[in-house]
């Protein structure tokens, strides 16, 4: 029983301390979040197109070198 109470008190202490720390956080404004999200989506799209092109070209090259279909 004592172990359970000790465990529960540790959880309660953790939650209280987490709440105190979260109060110190400086949160981004909605405008900053939207701008950051747009930048991330654009960068992911660019990387996806680049990886797709490289994958296509490498698969063609390997197919050519192995004598398979091109």
Residue 36 lies in a domain: yes
Interval 5-52: pLDDT, tens: 788 999 999 999 999 999 999 999 999 999 999 999 999 999 999 999
Residue 2: per-residue pLDDT: 64
pTM value? 0.62
Concatenating the DSSP letter of every residue in 37-61 gives HHHHHHHHHHHHHHHHHHHHHHHHH
| Residue 1 binned pLDDT confidence (cut-offs 50, 70, 90) | low
Distances (CA, A) of 34 to 14, 28, 31, 38, 67: 32, 10, 5, 6, 49
Q: Which domain holds residue 50?
A: 2-65
Residue 70: per-residue pLDDT: 52
Token couple for 30: 């909605």
Token couple for 59: 């698969």
Domain count along the chain: 1
Residue 70 lies in a domain: no
Residue 29 φ then ψ, to 5°: -75, 165
Residue 6: per-residue pLDDT: 87
């Amino acid at each position: 029983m004592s172990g359970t109470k000790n465990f529960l008190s540790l959880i309660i202490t953790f939650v209280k301390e987490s709440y105190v720390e979260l109060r110190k956080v400086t949160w981004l404004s909605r405008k900053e979040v939207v701008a950051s999200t747009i930048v991330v989506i654009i960068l992911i799209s660019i990387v996806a197109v680049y990886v797709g092109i490289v994958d296509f070209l490498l698969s063609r090259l390997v197919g050519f070198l192995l004598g398979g279909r091109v």
